[in-house]
Structure 1
């Protein structure tokens, strides 16, 4: 009897030792840059996160001493990509001849880049790293996913609210039974309104950029990482081109950060990918300097950067391709014909205002204040005095306040963002406005 009890105790101890179960909010699986960026974003968004990976790889099949040069997105320091680029430049700053100017191409060795990626995860209290681990299986377990991994000959079951499959080929999602094509296909022009990663360069001549929203830049919308019939399982491979190309690194980092904001939203609000609120997710992305539109002429340090991003994300102010750059043109004047259709789409009262006021070809400061007064039901004289007082002190505008003068795109973006707040209007995952 005693021997049997001893055997049972030994078996029990072995079970505890080799079959551990852990709970978390988000589990990220993958070795690359998108996995690192997603993990960091989830942790910074204050949800408990586990990153399970074998070994960090900046690019598959590379050796430690190999040197790379990235020319893509050097003038768009968006979120995780901008942070990575800055840290790489800090490492090489004292190296003779190394160019650290604002728009210089980024040069680095493989091992240095992988160390920098690892450092991004340091000191994040909500992030746990399961290094040298291998993915085994995944299954649904009530409102969570149960994922088994192997680490040091020990099987660990991780139960997470949200899974981010950041593997190169969507291994985790495929194991769960999902079927998907690499490269998201969108038939909605307005899908750019739901962007979570963006840039102003195409991937390569073989990649079908028509799969993405038809706009003069490429953007990856939220729908690109979602799986139909698979709740809270996000896949980066569904939105990325295949291939072992270092030029994809900026978008891998940006996409990872974007996916991280979606996962964090679901975990924080204890909801699912069937109930996403686009503007809250994008707002979190903007909090961490992630771009929605890849404007190269508005620096993220600019006091009006967020207002420009938010208003332009509604389609109210559209950008323009200028050679290889996508520009906002902050000092250009506002064309009435451009803003009228979107204003009447967003605000029902705008149709009546345009019919009554009949503004000219170029929108004026007076037109803008009149529209704001009509929408907010604010006394026109009081509104004029308030904005005139804040024109150069609070808003830091360079022009003189003149009701009859034309309004610049920067000025319109700031005032519209402050008083009309079009970014607050709900949009669905296809980018359509929801009443």
Structure 2
């Protein structure tokens, strides 16, 4: 088995060497991304698609970070939010395995896949982009801020190359570039008084979430024995409550599942199993954010050892000796993933701070950050702290109920450092919010947004912080991404883009709901429009006369009158009924009856087409209508 693994490793290393190495002939790029994780890879693809000359570097040989290199190949959330590059990646998985049912192999997720397959898909996606280069097995040595852009020094351990980049993107797992660039940041739990979050810690601390060294196992068949060597100082006691029937369940707060059901939690295609089990499993507490690379590696050996102990426990104490470490899944000597699963990192101090208040009640905040949304998420606020000694003293924020949400653009932009964009898990959110923004689809999508911001900044010859919110959102919409987390209006519907734009203005707002594990925001597209639904949003723009005189519901005749009122405010030539009638027919809405009540879908489509408030009323990074446009 070891010989087979070594041969596979040598073949793969040869492949990677030809794919990406330091190239001293490359001296200037438009966009440099450090860290080819879930965010960094997608940032590179989006940046290149918008025409920016883009370079992506990573310390390891794989693309994808937690999706692949860390083995967390069971996607959490966004199953109903088919947004942008997340949807594109998922469709490639469907195509590879044979459709949605073929990847719903474990009960924890709707999309599970082999990490090696995810890596192959990402490599094909990246290779298709002519403006994107990738250098593997190299790292950032140091950086220097220039008046415009950055001088960046990259090494592979034997040589060093100096590059100049107009925009730098931090796609690292722990926010290392942000620190090197001098960006202020937070680590651990925030003080309640600082964030205004009622469920936050009163005093704050530097405690982060547990990490996990995942294992991917494989069923080698009945009668085989794939038991690994007994780990040194092996102790089964941390794992005895990992499934039902092994300990006194009355003393355990967590639900204990039957052992076979627990194993099926992360079942992958082809009889493989992702071992990333939080209940007396292989979660491990380490806060190594501020350690050096050598110190981190030394500490991570402890997490690896703990996972090997857990695998040995599954094989010996629970009888799963036929399920061993998967062969040829990862190019590592021990068969474990290339990197650990980091749930938390540094969190920059950005142009905005996204709190649980903004997330839970987006339409009630002083700063309407939802108007600046560039990524969406719907997973619960999921914190892992069971492995921390003293976790019983920490705030209980596990699965705090929230709706689905839009991630504000300002979370990716450092407040004090220019020409830098930060993605992955180091964005400007609170510790509590990180419990949901850390998940794979949100990191994929914040990476896509980072790439869009960077490419537009290059194209417009401006700083990332000067890029128009609406311009970024428009590019993301063209790429099939969501701005607002409305799961009841799909991208294949003809009004999708219009509803996304109108939603981002706040003229029509959705309804946030938490239903068990499901976090939703609903637009209710086919409900009849009522006055109360649009009054506040229009008054923010200085438009109120028609709304105040209308009845409870809104007729097509009243809609036309309102559109004329808005166009008058905008200084546009006022439309006539024939134009509305023609567009109504184009949308195939049926008979044109002025007395009929309009639906929210129909109103959004008409308002977007004839008045285009999304582009007319620009917003700043905090979502406020800019003075130059507000009347």
TM range, smaller chain: 0.7 to 0.9
The residue number in structure 2 matching 1:75 is 80
Contact 2:141 2:153 in 1 (8 A): yes
Q: Deviations over 1:29-58 (max 9, x none)?
A: 103110000000000011111111122254
User: Secondary structure of 1:289's partner?
Assistant: coil
Q: Which residue of 1 aligns with 2:463?
A: 272
Further displaced range: 301-310 or 382-391: 382-391
**Match 2:156 to one of 148, 151, 154:** 151
SS in 2 for 1:266: helix
SS in 2 for 1:413: helix
C-alpha separation in 2, matches of 1:379 and 1:165: 46
Which residue is 1:193 aligned to?
Answer: 371
For residue 125 of structure 1, the aligned residue among 121, 124, 130 is 130
After the TM superposition, which of the residue ranges 55-64 and 263-272 deviates more from structure 2?
A: 55-64
Name the counterpart of 2:595: 404
2:111 pairs with 101, 106, 112, which one? 106
SS where residue 48 of structure 2 aligns?
helix
Spell out, residue by residue over 1:194-240, the C-alpha distance to the aligned partner (whole angstroms, 9 max, x if none). Answer: 111112222414699x9xxx983232211111112210111113327
Q: Offset of 1:119 from its aligned partner?
A: 1.4
Kindly indicate whether the alpha-carbon contact (under 8 Å) linking 1:365 and 1:403 is maintained by their aligned counterparts in 2.
yes
1:19–1:91 distance in 2 versus 1, CA, 3 Å: closer
Aligned mates of 1:274, 1:241 — CA distance in 2: 21
Contact conserved, 2:555 with 2:596, CA < 8 A, in 1?
Answer: yes
SS of residue paired to 2:155: strand
Mapped to 2, the partners of 1:110 and 1:402 lie a distance apart of: 55
Q: Trace 1:91-102 onto structure 2 (pairs within 5 A).
A: 91-93=96-98, 98-99=103-104
Structure 1: any 5+ residue segments left out of the alignment?
A: 1-16
Residue 142 of structure 1 deviates from its aligned partner by 2.7
The separation in 1 between residues aligned to 2:23 and 2:82, in whole angstroms, is 44
- In 2, are the aligned partners of 1:32 and 1:57 still within 8 Å (CA)? yes
In the TM superposition, residue 260 of structure 1 has moved relative to its aligned partner by 0.9
Structure 1 residue corresponding to 2:484, chosen from 293, 298, 304: 293
Distance in 1 separating the partners of 2:99 and 2:66? 29
1:13-52 alignment, distance < 5 Å: 22-52=27-57
Distance across 1 between alignment mates of 2:492 and 2:110: 21
Task: Give me the whole-angstrom Cα distance separating, in 2, the residues matched to 1:94 and 1:407.
Answer: 37
Deviation at 1:335, TM superposition (A): 1.6
Unaligned runs of 5+ in 2: 1-21, 187-345, 348-352, 359-365, 386-394
Q: Identify the residue that residue 7 of structure 1 maps to in structure 2.
A: none
The counterpart of 2:380, out of the listed 202, 224, 240, is 202
The C-alpha deviation readout for 1:54-98, integer Å capped at 9, x for no partner, is 22254459779x683224111111001000100011111189955
2:515 aligned with 1:328, yes or no? no
What is the CA–CA distance in structure 2 between the aligned matches of 1:316 and 1:25, rounded to whole Å? 37
Instruction: Provide TM-score, normalisation by structure 2.
Output: 0.59
Aligned-partner SS, 1:296: coil
Contact preservation (8 Å) 2:58, 2:135: yes
Whether the aligned pair in 2 keeps the contact of 1:28 and 1:39 (CA below 8 Å) is yes
Question: Aligned equivalents of 2:552 and 2:39: distance in 1?
Answer: 45
- Give the structure 2 partner of residue 311 of structure 1: 502
Identify if the C-alpha distance between structure 1 residues 413 and 141 changes in structure 2 by more than 3 Å, giving closer, same or farther.
same
Deviates more, 1:408-417 or 1:185-194: 185-194
Superimposed CA distance per residue, residues 250-276 of structure 1 (whole angstroms, 9 cap, x where no aligned partner): 111111001111111111111013322
